[in-house]
Amino acid sequence: MKIYKAHILFTKEKDRFEVYENGYVAVGDDGRVTGVAKNLDELDCDGAEIVDYGDKLLIPAMNDMHVHAPQVHNQGVAMDLELLPWLQNYTFPEESKYADVEYAERMYRRFMHTQWLFGTMRSVVFGTVHTESTRILMKLYQEAGMGALVGKVAMNRNCPDALCEDVDAAVEGNEKLIAEFGGDSHLSPLTSHLSPLVRPIITPRFVPSCTPELLKACGELANKYQLPVQSHLSENVSEIAWVAELEPESKSYGDAYNRYGLFGQTPTIMAHCVWTKGEELELMKRNGVMVAHCPTSNFNLSSGMAPIRSLLDEGVRIGLGSDISGGHDLNMFRMLVYAIQVSKMHYQLNHDKAFLNLSEIFWIATKSAGSFFGKVGSFEPGYEFDALVIDDSVLYPAEYSLLHRLERFIYVGDDRQIVHRFCRGKEVPEPKVD
Ligand code: GUN
Ligand code: FE
């Protein structure tokens, strides 16, 4: 067991921060928190080593719930098109390069290094259609000691030949990765204490990229191996109209996934949901589907403003995603800021609903998002210790309360203030990058 002393802040509930000034958190050998307290004698931990971080802040690590690792080279460029032409003109040509495993490894190292810098210890990631490159990405996460659900992307229509894979090959590629990285659900309470940090996730790209046969095969894989599912949903108006044409029998875009067992039959996360309402919203709630809110991507691809306050009030599960390279920023702390700003735009249009406050968005980014990985995102006993130590000494901490210090780090800080990173109780060293 180890004990960490610092100013500890986390969100057990969405409405307020738990703040332990000069507090202690005890972490067992299995990487789980055993207690958090103001005084050492409140913890049952005689003889445990104490690591004293002095005046620094100790907070839960970040979770990026929707991100495309193979789009890292396009990060911050090609912002002049909306979703569908952006995919065809910029994204698909870049992803085609991942047939080359050397290119893939170089870019994936670069991508993960940036995630590490910004304190993102868990991710839900899209790879590409290429099995071998996706395997490399999973190996790199394993080596780094960072948690990830990684998807080999399924796509077989409306894309260049280089990214088109037939159904049998898609199933075979997935089964190869499942054989190597494990299939039965990492979320099972019976096995979660043994679960590997890196697991496959079934990843149909989105309805326009997948024939009904491929969607059906994806649903069968998710069910057979009890694996989670990720995809895109109701992101952009032109995309939604296209899905309605492609899937006339479906009652909604979400229903098009649901019909194939890809909408909460196993743990499911859907990116964007900017335009989700009515029947689709009811289905999400009923099936416990999580939304990955991607505010920068929704701005850059001119997709819209996701109504996160409404979704939160409806009880929908939510996390935050960078969605690079639709999004431009891998710093998840800045994503909290953007999400608050989007909700303030909604408030401008309708004063009936309050905009998000800091504890709500912090809870969404940590404990709510973390629930997709098991018990992650809080320092309550039983939670896996995913944590960051923040040295904000350059931000004039003596002049601010602890909560304002955290707020300032989120708004104006960056990776230079993150001095230690932990994933499941283990300190994560800087991964190698070319
Ligand atoms: N929909 C299908 N593919 C993508 C993608 O790569 N990025 C975004 N933002 N939306 C998508
Ligand atoms: Fe995306």
CA atoms within 13 A on the CB side of 126: 30
Residue 232 Cβ < 6 Å to ligand 1: yes
Question: Which atom of ligand 1 is nearest the CA belonging to 235?
Answer: 10
Atom 8 of ligand 1, nearest CA residue = 326
pLDDT of residue 183: 56
Tokens of 177: 């990765």
Tokens of 378: 């809080």
Question: Which atom of ligand 1 is nearest the CA belonging to 297?
Answer: 9
Q: Could you tell me the CA-to-CA distances from 39 to 23, 109, 382, 383 in Å, in that order?
A: 7, 41, 19, 20
Q: Which ligand is nearest to the CA of 205?
A: 1
417 C-alpha vs ligand 2 centroid, how far in Å?
Answer: 28
Residue 225 Cβ < 6 Å to ligand 1: no
Residue 68 Cβ < 6 Å to ligand 1: yes
Residue 327 Cβ < 6 Å to ligand 1: no
Q: Which ligand is nearest to the CA of 158?
A: 1
Q: Which ligand is nearest to the CA of 239?
A: 1
365: Cβ contacts below 8 Å, ≥ 6 apart: 62, 63, 319, 320, 332, 335, 336, 377
Residue 297 Cβ < 6 Å to ligand 1: yes
Atom 11 of ligand 1, nearest CA residue = 232
Residue 66 Cβ < 6 Å to ligand 1: no
Q: What is the rounded CA–CA span in Å between residue 407 and residue 359?
A: 10
pLDDT of residue 184: 52
Mutate to test the pocket of ligand 1, among 205, 270, 272, 298 (most ligand atoms within 8 A of CB): 205
Mutate to test the pocket of ligand 1, among 83, 253, 303 (most ligand atoms within 8 A of CB): 83
Mutate to test the pocket of ligand 1, among 206, 233, 274, 303 (most ligand atoms within 8 A of CB): 206
Could you list which residues have their CB under 5 Å from ion ligand 2? 271, 323
Q: Could you tell me the CA-to-CA distances from 252 to 40, 103, 233, 308 in Å, in that order?
A: 54, 39, 10, 20
Mutate to test the pocket of ligand 1, among 156, 207, 232 (most ligand atoms within 8 A of CB): 232
301 C-alpha vs ligand 1 centroid, how far in Å?
Answer: 10
Is-contact 364 14, C-beta < 8 A? yes
Residue 329 Cβ < 6 Å to ligand 1: no
Is-contact 377 367, C-beta < 8 A? yes
Mutate to test the pocket of ligand 1, among 209, 230, 235, 242 (most ligand atoms within 8 A of CB): 235
41: Cβ contacts below 8 Å, ≥ 6 apart: none
pLDDT of residue 189: 42
Residue-by-residue pLDDT tens, the chain, 434 positions: 999 999 999 999 999 999 999 999 999 999 999 999 999 999 988 889 999 999 999 999 999 999 999 999 999 999 999 999 999 999 999 999 999 999 999 999 999 999 999 999 999 999 999 999 999 999 999 999 999 999 999 999 999 999 999 999 999 999 999 999 985 544 444 444 447 999 999 999 999 999 999 999 999 999 999 999 999 999 999 999 999 999 999 999 999 999 999 999 999 999 999 999 999 999 999 999 999 999 999 999 999 999 999 999 999 999 999 999 999 999 999 999 999 999 999 999 999 999 999 999 999 999 999 999 999 999 999 999 999 999 999 999 999 999 999 999 999 999 999 999 999 999 999 999 98
User: C-alpha angle 212/134/254, rounded to 5°?
Assistant: 30
Q: Can you name the residues that pair with 62 across neighbouring β-strands?
A: 120
Residue 87 Cβ < 6 Å to ligand 1: yes
Is-contact 423 386, C-beta < 8 A? yes
Is-contact 305 272, C-beta < 8 A? no
The answer for 261, left when phi > 0, alpha when psi is -120 to 50, beta otherwise, is: left
Nearest residue to 387 (alpha-carbon basis) of 427, 360, 414, 429: 427
Atom 7 of ligand 1, nearest CA residue = 326
Is-contact 319 369, C-beta < 8 A? yes
314: Cβ contacts below 8 Å, ≥ 6 apart: 281, 285
pLDDT of residue 44: 85
161 C-alpha vs ligand 2 centroid, how far in Å?
Answer: 20
What residue type is 228 in one-letter code?
P
Q: Is the pTM of this model over 0.75?
A: yes
Q: Three-class SS string for the chain?
A: CEEEEEEEEEEEECCEEEEEEEEEEEECCCCEEEEEECCHHHCCCCCCEEEEEEEEEEEECEEEEEEEHHHHHHCCCCCCCCHHHHHHHHHHHHHHHHHCHHHHHHHHHHHHHHHHHCCEEEEEEECCCCHHHHHHHHHHHHHHCCEEEEECEECCCCCCHHHCCCHHHHHHHHHHHHHHHCCCCCCCCCCHHHCCCEEECEEECCHHHCCHHHHHHHHHHHHHCCCCEEEEECCCHHHHHHHHHHCCCCCCHHHHHHCCCCCCCCCEEEEECCCCCHHHHHHHHHHCCEEEECHHHHHHCCCCCCCHHHHHHCCCEEEECCCECCECCCCHHHHHHHHHHHHHHHHHHCCCCCCCCHHHHHHHHHHHHHHHHCCECCCCCCCECCEEEECCHHHCHHHCCHHHHHHHHHHHCCHHHEEEEEECCEECCCCCCC
Q: What is the rounded CA–CA span in Å between residue 23 and residue 273?
A: 39
